Structure 1
């Protein structure tokens, strides 16, 4: 996957559906750089770092997560950057750090609903040796919002209500008019289908509409303008 320059300060590597590798983002500032999401494995994280080095971009000084789901967080242990997550995300990661990854444990989590068949399938694809899975919480946690000052550009980390999970955080880069959504816009898997909660979806649409941005980077889909993503989400709401 290639690294694409998205705006004056922002780069991203697009998602890869084969093993559910999401979009990873990067903000370059005068006082350091900020990586958005850690990837679904150390291999995914290091692939992104290789792309940065190929483009003469420094390794991130900070790395933050949009939420705790495995595909966005399991690469966290591999970074040397200062790591940041919302308080809810860190609680989930702490719980997951005690999970075992043998077949019996994974099957039991499917039975209890702690995990989904979609995640189970792609974890098995990404990890040929599940003993390589390491889950850790971020070093720094916040509640509500937090701002990272990179000199000529700032990154606003903000918790947001989401139809996808209870610990969603978005990253707003006001100087570039960009928002990094992670999976906050997504529905959730229910067996073979993906389903939105109508109340949470409308709350998300209302909150997203109030945020000032022009362009959105999405965790598992191509970028969109603000108008495009709001229209798409409203169309989904009308179907419910």
Structure 2
């Protein structure tokens, strides 16, 4: 697979997501005095690839790391960097719990049964690490509860805790001078501990928060960067769906009818059909 890198703005270099092993976007935010790495990668191999790319571009290597949330694909590369790490207190607590777990093939099956990871995560971890895997956990050095501002020298990064269905510790990172908002996976559904679901009210709250930034670029960890206009257009049908579920709750037939009418379609696209199930599950 050809890895895709992009200078998103004057101070931000990203490595795009790879879905084969669930590698999220990694970003280097380049200040005058230091470089901040957003998320650590899903493995040392993922981390090393980005490190080499930064070197080839001639950019300063990261001096510190900020984590969006605790999930394995965002944190298992921490040991490859061994840098001061900033994280929400919930992320720090989760990583402490993970460090004592068994990540062998047999252990992975048990973790899925416990709802700590998903069956999909097992497939991705096996493909990323192979059969012989040693996963070393690093504890965050700087832990915050609500928000924290990081001065990189001429570039200001604001890491804000927003929570949400995907992970209670989810944070967004706003790069003020470049007007770029990294959303992590905050707008995603829950993925561990049972069927995937969204709270329609919670989703709308997070979406409204994201819109308030009025960012030039919106970056979701497993998507592609979007301009503000593209982001609003991409989320318009999901916003409408959430509002419909807020009104009609578990009345699936009415929800589907309202969405078909709104979109002027005879049949909802597969992603929205799935979205209907996620949001209805979130009303229970």
TM-score class, shorter:
over 0.9
In the alignment, which residue of structure 1 is the partner of 2:151? 149
Q: Work out the number of aligned pairs and report it.
A: 240
Counterpart secondary structure, 2:133: helix
**Aligned mate of 2:44, from 22, 42, 45:** 42
How far apart, in 1, do the equivalents of 2:110 and 2:14 lie? 36
1:59 is the counterpart of 2:87: no
Of 73, 98, 101, which aligns to 1:99?
Answer: 101
Give the gaps of 5 or more residues in structure 2.
242-275, 277-284
- Which structure would you say has the larger Rg? 2
Of residues 199, 217, 236, the one that matches 1:215 is 217
- Greater strand content: 1
- The one-character-per-residue Cα deviations of 1:157-199 (angstroms, maximum 9, x if unpaired) are 11113231111111101101101111112223489x8543312
Deviation at 1:112, TM superposition (A): 2.1
2:164, 2:132 → 1: CA distance? 30
1:32/1:150 contact within 8 Å kept: yes
CA contact (8 A) 1:62 1:83 kept: yes
Give the match for residue 89 of structure 1. 91
Question: Is residue 23–residue 46 contact of structure 2 (8 Å, CA) maintained in 1?
Answer: yes
TM-score (norm 2): 0.79
Q: Which has the higher contact order (CA 8 A, sep 6+)?
A: 1
Name the structure 2 match of 1:17.
19
**Alpha-carbon offset, residue 109 of structure 1:** 1.8
Q: Deviations over 1:133-157 (max 9, x none)?
A: 1222211111111111111111111
Q: Is the 8 A contact 1:101 1:130 kept in 2?
A: no
Deviation at 1:130, TM superposition (A): 4.4
**C-alpha separation in 2, matches of 1:62 and 1:190:** 28
**Which stretch shifts more, 33-42 or 99-108?**
99-108
The structure 1 residue matched to 2:139, chosen from 137, 140, 161, is 137
Structure 1's unaligned 5+ residue stretches are: none
Superposed counterparts of 1:61-210, under 5 Å: 61-189=63-191, 195-210=197-212
Distance in 2, Cα, partners of 1:115 & 1:45: 21
